[in-house]
Amino acid sequence: MEGYCVKCKAKKEIKDGKEVTLKNGRGAIKGECPDCKTGMFRILGKK
């Protein structure tokens, strides 16, 4: 899954991405940037 790294200011592949569920029931992917190790987060569409 691809996400946006705020620190690198570029779209990159999310490393070690894990699917989580938000309070409102939506899914999201949480992981880290492969280059700078900053946390990355991407909200997915409704299921």
**What are the pLDDT digits (tens) for 17-35?**
999 999 999 999 999 999 9
Domains identified in the chain, total number: 1
Q: Do the Cβ atoms of 46 and 34 come closer than 8 Å? A: no
Question: For the whole model, what pTM was predicted?
Answer: 0.78
Amino acid at 6: V
- How confident is the model over 24-47, as a mean pLDDT? 92
Residue 38 has pLDDT above 90, yes or no: yes
Whole domain around residue 18: which residue ranges?
Answer: 2-43
d(CA 29, CA 43): 6
Residue 47 has pLDDT above 90, yes or no: no
What is the model's pLDDT at position 45? 83
